[in-house]
Amino acid sequence: MEFFPISIFQLLFTSILSVIVTGLICVHIWLKSTVGKFYSNERMDGKTVLITGGNNGIGLETIRDLARRGARIIMASRKIDLGNQVRDSIMKETGNGNIIVKKLDLSSQKSVREFADEILRTEKKIDVLIHNAGCASTSNKKKSVDGIEMTYATNHYGPFLLTHLLIDLLKKSAPCRIIIISSAYYKIANVDLSNLNPLDTFPFFLYYVTKTANVMFGLELAKRLKDTKISVLIVNPGMTNTDIFKKVPFPLNLAVKHSFKNAWEGAQTTIMTAVSKKLDGVTGKYYSDCRQEELKSFVKNEVKNKIFWEESVKMCRLRHSDPTI
């Protein structure tokens, strides 16, 4: 019998591969064992839900579920043709004909204002506003039409402006809910108050930063609306296989494909916070896997959150004639 010697390189490669495989298996087991599911059969008849970014992923599954529960749904979509296709498919699937598609590009302040004006003209109430839309770029540095870094413009400033413009209608609709989709990734990022338009920062890391911004926005919003009957709930969908991760390189793409939640699983906490009567009157809380979770202390700094809010007002060019919160 002939034996072939194993080189140090082969041994090292095998060891690294074993660590990666073991790590992926552990991630898979942990993620699948912690998935939260919302089993309630509560209805949403007579409720109007406005959701941004519902053409695919978590937003699509959220719309599908709420449509089954009888909600009237306004889909705010950047790609209007795709939005219409999704609407027609869900209407056929659920039998719910009360689904409307309206044009909205959250990265454009002009588009946000035009969308808000149309909602204020045509809608009598909004029972649930879901800030679901988001974007992430791996490396391409882009600016919005307003000269704002694209990830920040879409993930924070757009929802911030839209909330302000719709706040009077929301107050008239109370009790109602505002749901802000964030991420557990807020734990690894920090908002730099000295650079709130970071055009030279690595774009994909800015996705994490904007998830921190979402939490800061939600906490300050809840604080400012504490004397109203508008609840503000912040949601972590968990690590979900959506378009945001479609360009993740090997071997991380294996973890995304085989271990991350699918879109239905990722939508469960959003659905719970939109539907559950148990959350009536609850505000300023963060939910993950259908359970309330404590936020890290650094993101609950009220002084910093207030400053961030005030600077966001400037970035969104809010006018004296605009509603204030």
Q: Active-site residues: which are they?
A: 207
The neighbouring-strand residues paired with 177 are 128, 231
How far apart are alpha carbons 38 and 235 in whole angstroms? 14
Asked whether the beta carbons of 139 and 204 are under 8 A apart, the reply is yes
Tokens of 220: 């300050």
CB contact burial 176-188 (16+ within 10 A = b; e otherwise)? bbbbbbbbebbee
**Tokens linked to 41:** 């059969």
CB-CB contact of 74 with 49 (8 Å):
yes
H helix intervals, 95-230:
109-122, 150-152, 158-173, 203-224
Sheet containing strand 99-103, edge to edge, reads: 99-103, 72-77, 48-52, 128-131, 176-181, 230-236, 285-288, 291-292
Of the candidates 229, 285, 234, 271, the residue with the CA atom closest to the CA atom of residue 42: 271
C-alpha separations of 230 from 56, 178, 192, 255, 277 in Å: 27, 7, 29, 38, 14
